[in-house]
């Protein structure tokens, strides 16, 4: 529990780190082997990774405790680390009680979770509008600003790489702060500011790289930390449902982001103004997330916004 936000965020950093690596691969492969080589590399790599995932990726502890015969798979996993360890009796009884219940999305609207659930969904929706707009159209906007294709790919990779660094730093701070919603709100507000600065400096090579790095640090770093926040916000028995639905609703935003970008480009809106428009979702997301309160905190009068449960 002490490092849960950091660990979840580190796992999610594969998204931005892989995206950054893809930009460097594209910059090196397109000139030598053509654009087809990028898709070939992107298709072969996950196939090579698949057997390692199937062999080494473990199930979660609550899932293993519910398996039949009891503890068989759990003991197989833990025998490699602590051969004499036994599951705590309280955890076993609790999971046996939960095994027969049907966990649906309705659980996210009971016991005081309705308002924070809707706020989290809205935050994901508008935040992913900005994130996927940047991922989809940043290379094109950089090309329109005068960069060459390889330079645009490398700068876009820097945007994604900065997101990995930002996510790790923010998650480290989040595990040490009581009010995680305030941190997320500040980061999303900073993402709006960085997007505006990117628009102001899009045609200035001296400041463009720094602006892209700062934007990636806040936009991607904030989104990955938001993912970890959602996974820790709900009780253990509905944690996967809560996170999955938040990401699912957010995917509508990830669809709209590139569509809005294409509309603005088709209307020949200046690049600077496009980035100004992109700052609006970040501001709205900051206003949404700051209002999230855990029902446990509301009853205890604690404004921290989330309780980290074991």
Q: For the chain, what are the domain ranges?
A: 4-57+108-300
The confidence score (pLDDT) of residue 107 equals: 83
pLDDT digits (tens, 9 = 90+) for 123-171: 999 999 999 999 888 888 888 777 887 788 788 888 888 888 888 888 8
The CATH architecture assigned to 4-57+108-300 reads Up-down Bundle (1.20)
Residues whose CB is less than 8 angstroms from the CB of residue 123 and which lie 6 or more positions away in sequence, other chains included: 226, 285, 288, 289, 292
Average pLDDT, the chain: 81
Q: What is the pTM of this model?
A: 0.72
**Per-residue model confidence (pLDDT) at position 305:** 46
Closest CA to 26 of 195, 114, 153, 113: 153
Q: Is the peptide bond before 304 cis (omega within 30 degrees of 0)?
A: no
The token pair that represents 221 in the structure block: 């770093």
Distances (CA, A) of 240 to 43, 233, 234, 248: 28, 11, 9, 12
**Three-class HEC string of 130-184:** HHHHHHHHHHHHHHHCCCCHHHHHHHHHHHHHHHHHHHHHHHHHHCCCCCHHHHH
Query: Which pLDDT belongs to residue 309?
Result: 41
pLDDT digits (tens, 9 = 90+) for 48-94: 999 998 888 876 666 666 655 556 667 777 788 887 777 665 444 55
Tokens of 22: 């893809």
| Whether the predicted pLDDT of 307 surpasses 50 | no
């Amino acid at each position: 529990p002490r490092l849960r936000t950091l660990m979840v965020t580190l796992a999610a950093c594969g998204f931005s780190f892989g995206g950054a690596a893809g930009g460097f691969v594209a910059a090196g492969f397109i000139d030598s082997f053509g654009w087809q080589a990028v898709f070939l590399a992107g298709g072969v790599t996950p196939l090579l990774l698949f057997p390692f995932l199937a062999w080494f990726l473990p199930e979660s502890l609550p899932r293993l405790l519910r398996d039949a015969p009891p503890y068989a798979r759990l003991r197989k996993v833990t025998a490699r680390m602590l051969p004499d360890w036994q599951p705590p009796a309280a955890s076993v009884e609790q999971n046996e009680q939960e095994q027969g219940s049907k966990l649906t999305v309705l659980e996210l609207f009971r016991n005081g979770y309705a308002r924070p659930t809707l706020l989290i969904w809205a935050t994901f929706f508008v935040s992913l509008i900005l994130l996927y707009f940047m991922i989809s159209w940043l290379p094109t906007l950089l090309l329109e600003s005068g960069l060459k294709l390889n330079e645009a790919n490398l700068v876009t990779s820097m945007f994604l790489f900065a997101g990995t660094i930002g996510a790790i730093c923010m998650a480290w701070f989040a595990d040490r702060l009581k009010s995680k919603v305030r941190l997320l709100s500040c980061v999303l507000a900073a993402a709006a500011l960085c997007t505006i600065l990117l628009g102001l400096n899009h045609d200035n090579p001296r400041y463009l790289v720094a602006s892209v790095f700062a934007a990636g640090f806040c936009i991607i770093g904030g989104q990955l930390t938001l993912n970890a926040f959602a996974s820790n916000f709900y009780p253990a028995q509905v944690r996967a449902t809560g996170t999955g639905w938040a990401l699912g609703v957010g995917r509508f935003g990830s669809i709209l982001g590139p569509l809005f970008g294409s509309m603005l480009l088709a209307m020949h809106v200046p690049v600077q103004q496009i980035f100004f428009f992109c700052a609006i979702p970040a501001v709205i997301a900051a206003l949404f997330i700051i209002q999230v309160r855990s029902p446990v905190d509301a009853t205890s009068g604690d404004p921290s916004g989330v309780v980290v449960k074991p």
